[in-house]
């Protein structure tokens, strides 16, 4: 299993319910949901990857299942991983997707190659 397809489907469904235009991209051994050509949320193995605002970063780390995204063995600023216990309930998943969408308009796009 490269990534949790059930979690990916739940994120996708949440974005669709909110009528958000997005694109799916396979990357980092998982899947990423791009909103306005910017990384917004995704799934790597069994964890949700969330791109959130700097002002809620520290507070978010105290939430159930949340920890720094250390994919490269160094924490990535503005990104967190949320373990399955933090996304099991639909309301919890909606909370994280909401944080991602809230920050997305202010997020910087990665450079085009």
Per-residue pLDDT tens digits for 78-104 = 899 999 999 999 999 999 999 999 999
Contact (CB, 8 A) for 12 and 19 = no
Q: In the chain, pLDDT over 90 holds for what percent of residues?
A: 82
At residue 113, the pLDDT reads: 53
What's the angle, vertex CA 105, arms to CA 56 and CA 73, rounded to 5?
A: 55
Domain boundaries, the chain: 5-106
Residue 76 has pLDDT above 70, yes or no: yes
Using CA atoms, how far apart are residues 84 and 72, in angstroms rounded to an integer? 20
Kindly tell me if the per-residue pLDDT of 1 is higher than 90. no
> Is 6 a residue whose pLDDT tops 70?
yes
Percent above pLDDT 70 for the chain: 96
Q: What pLDDT sits at residue 108?
A: 86
pTM for the whole thing? 0.91
Q: CATH class for domain 5-106? A: alpha beta
């Amino acid at each position: 299993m490269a990534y949790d397809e059930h979690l990916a489907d739940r994120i996708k469904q949440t974005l669709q319910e909110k009528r958000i235009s997005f694109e799916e991209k396979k990357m980092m051994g998982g899947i990423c949901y791009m909103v306005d050509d910017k990384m917004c949320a995704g799934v790597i193995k069994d964890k949700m990857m969330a791109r959130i605002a700097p002002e809620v970063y520290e507070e978010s780390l105290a939430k159930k299942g949340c920890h720094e995204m250390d994919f490269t063995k160094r924490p990535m600023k503005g990104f967190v991983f949320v373990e399955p216990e933090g996304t099991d309930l639909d309301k919890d998943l909606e909370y994280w997707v909401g944080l991602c969408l809230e920050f997305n308009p202010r997020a910087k796009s990665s450079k085009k190659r």
